[in-house]
Amino acid sequence: MTAAIVDRLAARADVSLVAYAVTGRRTTASDLRLPAGVPLCVTRVPARVLFDVWRWMAAPRIDRWTGRVDVVHGTNFVVPPTGAAALVTVHDTAFAHSPDLVTAASRRYASLLRAAVERGATVQVFSDRVRAEVCDLLRVSGDQVVCVQPGIAELPPGDAATGRRRAGAPRYLFALGTEEPRKNYPRLVAAFDVVAAIDPDVHLVVAGATGWGSEALDVAVRAAAHRDRVVRLGYVSDAERSDLLAGAAALAYPSLDEGFGHPPLEAMRFGVPVVAARSGAIPEVLGDAALLIDPASVDDLAAALSAVLTDAPLRSRLVAAGTARAGRFSWDRTADGIVACYRSLAERTG
């Protein structure tokens, strides 16, 4: 997401970007895949050290490394102290309301965010749901939190036949995302087991990097009666992702919490019907273009998956609504919103 925004901003004539990396490693612009011509400043001080200091002090300022700028944008929950205007992007608030779904490192964001807001930082979010949660969590007014929706990943054209070969199945439900607790994959496997008992051809394909929810998924797969039809591909490239989306019978997205939710919109762009959780910002993002379910209910999820596989009129309605829904999201529109925010902050701080 950040990379797509940076690419759009770097192409504009009204923005001059300076990238910074808070790390003790010898990081280069090529490591971060920055657009050509965007300079990179590296603190060469470990993030954990600076984060501990920034909880309590407004120093050292990031300007020490970047030089004078108009706005400092922290794109992932943390914005350093600065003499300029500050903007911090908050993707979701699971670190506060569902700490069991995130890593110990993520649970540290709350104190860093409070310190940044107390220093006058503005918060940027991608959904109104997260906007309301941030206002409640940080006890700030609505004018200190700005919502700018993201675009959708620009994936290469997909080939359905190639996707089915990669999946090892002619007909499959597809799940896309890192194996972590919030993705709710153990319940998805249990729901698939119900569907597989009455549908002898369908498979479940899970693509996503191994995460700290992988062990729970291992247990769920071993317990499944139809474990031989559960395929775990691990991390896949953008080209593979496109092929797998193109070949899928449906996308399953039963997340327990999301601050936005990109995979369902990507699937909709490929004309794939979506079953998604009624949780977090997902209903706001998808509207009536997906079949929404209670992510805590295996029965609810199984019934929805069975319906999209067998009910042709329902599939047609979801595909048409999904295509229209996906068309509402644009990275150029996102860049316009971010630049408008930068301009307002810069003018406000002089």
Helices 185-198 and 298-310 pack at an angle, to 10 degrees, of: 50
7 burial (CB, 10 Å; 0-12 / 13-18 / 19+) is middle
Q: What's the rounded Cα separation, in Å, for the pair 62 and 60? A: 6
Q: What's the rounded Cα separation, in Å, for the pair 306 and 199? A: 9
Q: What's the rounded Cα separation, in Å, for the pair 195 and 347? A: 57
> Structure pTM?
0.92
pLDDT in tens, the chain (350 residues): 889 999 999 999 999 999 999 999 888 777 888 999 999 999 999 999 999 999 999 999 999 999 999 999 999 999 999 999 999 999 999 888 888 877 777 788 889 999 999 999 999 999 999 999 999 999 988 889 999 999 998 889 999 999 999 999 999 999 999 999 999 999 999 999 999 999 999 999 999 999 888 999 999 999 999 999 999 999 999 999 999 999 999 999 999 999 999 999 999 999 999 999 999 999 999 999 999 999 999 999 999 999 999 999 999 999 999 999 999 999 999 999 999 999 999 998 76
Q: What is the pLDDT of residue 154?
A: 87
CB 198 within 8 A of CB 225: no
CB 271 within 8 A of CB 319: yes
Domains in the chain, CATH or no CATH each: 2-151+330-349 (3.40.50.2000), 160-326 (3.40.50.2000)
Bridge partners of 291, per DSSP, are 275
